[in-house]
Each structure stands twice: as structure tokens, then as C-alpha cells.
Structure 1
Amino acid sequence: MKLHRNGMILAISLGVLLNPLNSSMIAVAIPSLQQAFGLPLSTVIWIVFVFYISGTIMQPIIGKSSDRIGRRRLFLFGLLLALLASIAASFAPNFGTLVAMRIAQAIGTSMTVTVGLPLVRLHITDKREHALSMISSFQSGAAAMGPFVGGMLIHWWGWSAIFYVNIPIMLVSLVLAWKWLPVEPTQTQAAESPQSQSPWQTIDLVGMLLFAIGLIVLLGSLLSGKGEAQWSALHLTGILAGLLLLVWFVWHEWNTDHPFIPLRTLTTLPSVSWIIAGFMIANVLFYALFFGYPSYLQQVIQLDSLHTGIMMLVLGLSSVAGAAMAGRAIRRYSRRLILQLAAILMLLGALLLLMIQVHSSLWISALILLLFGCSSGLGNVAMQADLMDESPASIIGVVSGLFNMARNVGGILASTLISIIAGVSFTASHFHVLAICLLGFAVIYSALLYGRNRQV
């Protein structure tokens, strides 16, 4: 199949936007889901967590599998799975079915995200930064504009509409991917080699279970304790058990031959480790602002949902603009300079966030969102380009899976942080505490960036 650059880039861009779009639109659907299924917030909120947790678990597995069975196949299968899950979710008769479809949707969209970067790395050599810039623009824009789009859809057609909107995007991406994504020779070679191991034979089932159970127990204990406004012995036991399971997970990953997360491999690639860690912290900042600021605007400033959505468009559009600028700037300047600029913008935004008051002008809020959005767009493209150059081609799928896993972990940490701080609803004092935490994460991000630069 002849590689058509523009068709390939558009197919990948449409495929990768599905994950952030669906992880963000659901935020505005939670009240509607509570009403539709008659469930408390503490139950409905798990529809957010299962999406992140499923993606977090599956992305390293998808990355490892893609190195063996082919990225084109996984991209197409992921689109088809997400399409079927979205159709089924819109007709879900009960909340359990909806959660199951969200898990399937997370797995399918994780496939497109995880194999998208390796496809660019392996098949686009000319002006690769431009391709990464376009893909990152789709991702950033979908993530930040999801609440606005979701709010409009729910207002006119109900919560099912946030699943309908996936269908035309997935169909277009499927057609383009089928036509323009290259068939990789390694697929045939792997199939003909009797000595090649199936990727399923190297799956670290113990590591997956330790990670998933430990994370769910820890999050469940933290959120239920906060929700009940008191920490019982059961909650504290659950927190301790979750932490111990995660410590066991780290020990197991270090000592097993086929780890879920290759910790020993990462120690031999310090630059890659710095990039992944920095990307995770950057996403904690982005998603904490993304989930927290709308609540602040509505519950503290008393803006309505329409004007809140318009304000959040500043974050989305500036993320897209930052990604577009990064694609051009990387060809002219060093990635190191772009990452330093992203860190400076993030620190400035965090400092302004700390100083904001209830009576502050909305122009200050817009400036904060602009700074964070530009920082996110610039940093995402620069880190992706850095990762592609620093990663050996033989394990690019694994590294891409870890990189996208870091995005999900950042989202999990951010939403957990907001739930712990705010509880039932946001107040001005809660938001001030969140601002202090975000400034701390911005400092950590800058420190990680400094450590990365020392590797250059």
C-alpha cells in the first residue's frame, strides 16, 4: 500500500482524539446519569475512573503487542471496538452495562492512541514535527473542548448524544486508516516465524492484577472516606492495603522477566524515564485545572454552564495554538528551549491561580487558562518529539504505551486530588488549596525538566 502522508496523518489524528474527547465529555454528563439511573455521585463517578484505569492497564500491553502483531491491525481493531462500544453505550439499559461499554471504549481508544505515535515514528521521516504537532492539536483540542461539546449535546439530545458523536469520527478514521495506513512487513515475518512468542504469552497477569486491585482499593478507600466525611478503621485499612499492593507491584515488576511496566529497561534509558515522568506531572496539572476550574466557575463565581463552557474554550484553543506553534518552533529551535518555555508558562499560570480571588476579573481567569493551555500544547509536542528520538525503534511500541499510560495516571491523580480536596462541592477555600497543590506540581515539573536537560 502506497503511503499517503496527509491521509495517514488525518487518520491517526482522528483516531487519537477519541480517547481525550470521551474522557472529557463524560464530566458534564454525570448529573444527567445520576438522574437517569437514580444513583449517588459516589457511584456514578466511577464511570470516570474505569475509563482511566482501563486505559492505564491496557496501554503498556497494547504497546508490547504492537511491536509483534502490527500497528495497523491494532489501530483498525481499536476503532472498530470503540465504535461498537459507543453504539451499545447509547442504548445501555442499566448503569452496569454503561460501565462495561466505557471499559470497552477505553480499550479501543487506547489502541489508537498507543499505536499512533509509533506509526508516525516509523513511517514519517520528513517534517515529523509537523505531523506530531497536528496530532497533538487534535488531542489537546478534544480534551479541553470536550465539556463544551458534551454540554451542548446533552442540552439538546440527552446523555446518549455524547456516544453518538463518536460514530461519524470513527467511521471517517476507519476509512482513511484502511486506505492509507501502511501494512508493516513485520506482521508477515512474525506470523511465519515458529519461534516467535505470542504477545499474550509474555503478559504479566500478576503485575496487571496487583496494579489494578491496588489502585482501585486505594482510590475507593480515599473517595469513600472523604465522601462519608470521616475516616473509619476500614477506610484506613483499605488505604494501607492499596499502598502495600502497589509496593508489591513495584517489587514484582523489577524481578519478573516479562513485566507489565519494564522498570529495569527504563533505568537504562534515563532520558525516556524523565520524559514519561514529566508528562505524567504535566497531565496532573492540566486535568486538575480541566476538572476543577469549571466547578470553581459555576459553584463559586456562579457562572452558568454555557458561559463556563465558553471560558474553558480558552484552554482548548490555546492548547491547539501551542501545539501548532511547537511544530514550527522545534524545526527552528531546540526541543530543550520549547520545554523550558512550557515550564515557565506553567509556573506563571500556577502563580496567578494562587493569587486569584472571588472578585477577580474573568480576564484573569482567561489569562490563566491561556497560559496553561499554551504550556500544555508546547510541552506535549516537544515531549513527543523528544521521546521519538530517544526511544530505540525495537521498543517504540512499549515506550509509546508507557507515555500514554502516563497521561491516564495524570488524569487519575488529578481527579482524585480534586475529590479529596473539594468533597461534595467547591468553595473558595477549597480552590485555594487546589491552587497551592498545582503550584507544587508545577515546581516538580520544572525540576523534572531540569533533570531531563542534564541528560542532554
Structure 2
Amino acid sequence: MLLGSVLNPVNSTIIAVALVPIGRALGAPASQTAWLVSALYLATSLGQPVVGRLIDLFGPRRLFLLSTGLVGVAGVVGALAPNLGVLIAARVLLGFGTCAGYPAAMALLRSEAERTGRDSPGGVLTALAVANQTIAVVGPLLGGLLITVGGWRATFALNVPLAVVAVALGMLRLPRPAAPGGPRRRGELVARLDLPGMGLFAAMLVSLLLFLMNLHLRDWYLLALTVVAGAAFAFRELRAATPFIDLRVLGGNTPLLATYGRALVAYVVAYAFLYGFTQWTEEGFGLSPFHAGLVQIPMFLLAIGVSVLSGRRRGVRGKLLLGAVGQIVACAVILTLTGESPLWMLILVALIFGVPQGLNNLALQNSVYFQADPERTASSAGLLRTFAYVGSMIASSASAAAFGHHADTAGMHTLAWVMLGAGVVYLLLTLFDRTLGRGTGPDAGAAA
């Protein structure tokens, strides 16, 4: 489960240092290579809650094996891609392929807690967070090494052995689902899929994300389609016997909604830094892909340490507040950077970002585990990732708009103002969330 859950972040972080080499090789500007980021998150934003719901109904084994196998296929397609269009298609496949890992891990954790009667997952939740942070440490550096040795295509080929190992481990270790109890039982499960709800959710999300990818008034029809599809989705879900997303329960779960809101703005900041700042260190500051990856290492190392130290503490308010302050301070420092700044200032920014990177992810993950309906743990975890990926799409769109054809210092400063605004919203959402005063644990989850 740890390996499956990191397939998405490894592809997220590796591509950060590969964007510039890919653009040079294929003759594509930064505004076009940004689609390599957007494509993965478009697919994953849609797939996470859908696959999560399927996992809630059918168990993690089948969905994990199928999705993770798709990761290997995407690795082959990307490694052999002749142009940017095929490369974007490979990233879409990667997005769908990495959908099952995290929801499956959360669902398995919940089922094991019920089986053993021990609902104390702090150590395992911390392990999930640290595993993702560790991959984030390795990703930029590994990406730089792979590009140096085998070119940018090696960053896609890496998915083939990772998928093979993950599928093999899944076949050996994942528990087989209980017998479905005959055709009637299988028919009941299929009836609970709510395919119309999934379709309307897909229409709403895809139109929204396409609008966010290239913000412009000429694309107003996409926003209109989002509103229409959203209204139809809400109408359907409020009347469905077994809704895809139970809006009645979700609407009454204010703590969980607040957690989703925080995830959205937190990932605007995190991914604008991951992609935008990394591109600037290469094009605006003059670092190689390998050295650009090295600059990220202090952030992720500190994030791992922060996650380990704070992982077993249930309270989340302090973590969220400190993470919010860290985001704001880091953005303020970025506004002082220029192409002539000393290298130690870039490392300082990375270190400051390490604090919110380590605290926010862990706090949001723990919040969802305790705040979600136990029967919808996987789909709730998937929905957390969907909100996070919407935030990452906003970050990608902001990066493309700020940089245009070249990631210069003026564009980096523009992006930093966007990040600063999102960081302030994150702080306000935390300060005015009274439910955090009770902490996030079993009692808080019950109260929610």
C-alpha cells in the first residue's frame, strides 16, 4: 500500500525537473508543457473518488491491481512518445493508473482497524505521509539523475519496473474480497455504483478543470457547463437511494468540508512552488535539472522530520496554523529573490517550505480518516485528493499564465503573489474553524 500510494507523487515530482528538457526536445514553450502537469491531475481528480467508491464496494485488491497495471502501460507509452500530444496522453493514463493507491491504503487501514478492534492508526498514517514525503525527496533528484543518464524519456520508463513490483506485491499480499454471495449480491453492488451520478460528476469536474487550465473569458461556456452539470449532479445525488457522493451526509459534515477547502488552497501553494519555483531555478536562475532537484532536497528532508515528530499527536489545529504561517513566510521570501540572489537564499526558501509540507499533508490526511463516514473511507480519501488536485490545477494554470514562454523572475514574483493569497486563505480557514478546537480524533470524528 505504501508503494501504491507513492506512484502519483513520484510522477508529480519527477516531471517538475523534466518540463524544461521536454520543452527543449519537443520545441514546446512552458505554456504547453504545463499540460503535462494538468493532464495527470485532470485524470486523477476525476478518477480518485470514482475508484475510491469502487474500492468501498468491492475492496481494494481488484482496483489496485487493475489501476497499477495501467501505470506500467503509461510508462511504455511515455518512453516511446514521438510528440507532446502522445506524451500528454501518457500522463492521462498515469493519472488514472495512480488513482487506486491512496484510497486503497486508507480503506485497508480502516478494514484492519475493524478486524482487529484497534482504531489507533497514527503510526500507519504517519508512515503513509512519510512515504510520500520520501518519494518527494527522491523525485526531483532522481529525475535529474535519470535525465542526465538516459534523457527525459527515462522518467517515464521508470514507471514500468515500479508497476511490476507493485502489482506483484498486490497479488501476493492484498486480501481477497469476501465471496459476493451469488448473482443477487453482485447485482446489488452494481446497482449501488450510481453510474449517472458518476457521469454528471465527471462532466462537472472536467469542464471546471479545462476552464482552470487556461483561464480566459472566451471559455465562459466551460464555466457555464460546470454550473449546469453541478446542479444536475446535486439534483441526482440528493434523490438517489445510494448516491455516488452522499451530499446530505457531506453537507452536514462541516469539519470534513473545511478540510477539503484547506486541501484545495494548500495545494495551490505547494504545487505552484514545486513546479513554478523549480522551472524558475532552471530558466531564471540558470541551474541544471540535477541541481534544481538538489535545491528541493532540504525542503523534503525537513518535511519528513516534521512529519515523524508530529505524526503521533492527534491535535491538528497547531499543525495547521504553523503550516499556514510557514507558507506565508516562504512566499514573502520568494518575492525578494532575483536571478542574482545567492544560492543559499533558494535553499532557505526550500527549508521554510519544509515546515508546511510536513505538517499540512499529515494533518489533512488524519482529519479525513476520523471525520469521514467509515463506510465511505476510500471515496472520502479520494475526494480529498480531488480537492488537492483542483488546487494543483489552479497552480499549474497560474504558473502558465505567470511565465508564458519563459520562466523569468518577474513571472516568479507574480506567481508568488498568487501563492501568498492562497496561503492567507488557508490561514483564515484554520483560524475560523471552531471544530478544530476539539482536536481531530475519534471523538471529533463522531461529533462530525
TM-score by length of 2: 0.86
CA distance in 2, matches of 1:190, 1:346: 53
Q: Is the 8 A contact 1:60 1:402 kept in 2?
A: yes
Which of 266, 277, 282 lines up with 1:293 in the alignment? Answer: 277
Equivalence for 2:210: 216
Deviations 1:90-145 (A, max 9, x none): 23345444333322221111111222222223324465111111211222332354
Seen in structure 2, the aligned counterparts of structure 1 residues 38 and 346 have a Cα distance that, compared at 3 Å, is: closer
1:349-370 Cα distance to aligned partner (Å, 9 max, x none): 2333334455544333222211
Q: Distance in 1 between matches of 2:417 and 2:84?
A: 36
1:345 and 1:41 map into 2 onto residues whose CA distance is 28
What's the counterpart of residue 244 of structure 1?
224
Query: Hey, what's the Cα distance between the residues in 2 that align with 1:369 and 1:190?
Result: 55
Correspondences of 1:32-431 after superposition (within 5 Å): 32-34=21-23, 36-37=25-26, 39=28, 41-124=30-113, 125=118, 127-143=120-136, 145-185=138-178, 188=180, 193=185, 194-196=187-189, 197=191, 199=193, 201-220=195-214, 222=215, 236-238=217-219, 240-257=220-237, 262-328=246-312, 330=313, 334-431=315-412
Q: Quick one: distance in 1 between partners of 2:32 and 2:419?
A: 27
SS in 1 for 2:296: helix
Equivalent residues of 1:288, 1:414 under 8 A apart: yes
User: 2:265 corresponds to which letter in structure 1?
Assistant: I
Q: Distance in 2 between matches of 1:304 and 1:101?
A: 25
TM-score, normalization by structure 1 = 0.85
Indicate if the aligned counterparts of 1:253 and 1:263 stay in contact, CA closer than 8 A.
no
The answer (yes or no) to whether the contact 1:215–1:246 under 8 Å persists in 2 is: no
Relative to structure 1, the CA distance from residue 389 to residue 207 in structure 2 (aligned partners, 3 Å threshold; closer, same or farther) is closer
Measured in 2, the distance between the counterparts of 1:353 and 1:237 equals 32
Q: Distance in 2 between matches of 1:122 and 1:263?
A: 24
Deviation (angstroms), 1:39:
4.9
For residues 341 and 362 of structure 1, what CA distance do their matches in structure 2 show? 26
Q: Deviations over 1:370-421 (max 9, x none)?
A: 1212212122112211211111111212211101112211211111111112
| Cα distance, 1:72–1:271 mapped onto 2, change above 3 Å | same
SS in 1 for 2:406: coil
CA distance in structure 1 between the partners assigned to 2:24 and 2:366 by the alignment: 44
Q: Distance in 2 between matches of 1:275 and 1:25?
A: 27
Shift of the alpha carbon at 1:203? Answer: 4.2
Q: Percent identity?
A: 27
Contact 1:284 1:414 in 2 (8 A): yes
Q: Which amino acid aligns with 2:167?
A: L
Is the 8 Å Cα contact of residues 274 and 451 (structure 1) preserved in structure 2? no
Gaps of 5+ in 1: 1-11, 223-234
Which residue type is aligned with residue 254 of structure 2? P
Task: Letter of the 2:250 partner, please give it.
Answer: L
Question: For residues 72 and 387 of structure 2, what CA distance do their matches in structure 1 show?
Answer: 25
Corresponding letter in the other structure for 1:55:
T
**Separation of aligned partners in 2, 1:191 and 1:169:** 36
CA contact (8 A) 2:4 2:68 kept: yes
Partner letter of residue 211 of structure 1? L
**Does the Cα contact within 8 Å between 2:126 and 2:307 map onto a contact in 1?**
yes
CA distance in 2, matches of 1:121, 1:382: 17
Please give the alpha-carbon distance, in whole angstroms, between the structure 2 residues aligned to 1:395 and 1:105.
24
Contact kept in structure 1, 2:339 and 2:409, CA below 8 Å? yes
Q: Quick one: distance in 1 between partners of 2:88 and 2:414?
A: 32
SS where residue 291 of structure 1 aligns? helix
* 1:303-339: CA deviation from partner (whole Å, max 9, x where unpaired): 33332221111222222222222224x1xx6233322
Where does structure 2 lack aligned partners over 5 or more consecutive residues? 439-448
Kindly provide the amino acid, as one letter, of the partner of residue 281 in structure 1: V
Quick check: 1:318–1:374 contact (8 Å CA) kept in 2? yes
Match of 2:9 in 1: 20
Deviation by residue 1:275-311 (Cα, 9 ceiling, x = unmatched) = 1111121111111111121233233333333322211
> In 1, Cα distance between the equivalents of 2:64 and 2:208?
29
Letter in 1 for 2:151: G
What amino acid is the match of 2:228?
W
Question: In structure 1, what is the Cα distance between the partners aligned to 2:84 and 2:18?
Answer: 13
The offset of 1:31, in angstroms, is: 4.1
What is the letter of the counterpart of residue 252 of structure 1? A
CA 143–247 in structure 1, closer or farther in 2 if over 3 Å, else same = farther
Distance 1:300 1:28, change over 3 A: closer
Q: Shift of residue 440 of structure 1?
A: 1.6
Letter in 2 for 1:364: M
Amino acid at match of 1:336: R
1:436 aligns to what?
417
Question: Aligned partner of 1:290: which letter?
Answer: L
2:446 counterpart residue number: none
The answer (yes or no) to whether the contact 1:253–1:262 under 8 Å persists in 2 is no
- Report the secondary structure of 1:155's partner residue: helix
In 2, Cα distance between equivalents of 1:131 and 1:426:
39
- Name the CA distance, whole Å, in 2 between partners of 1:437 and 1:449: 19
Aligned residues: 427
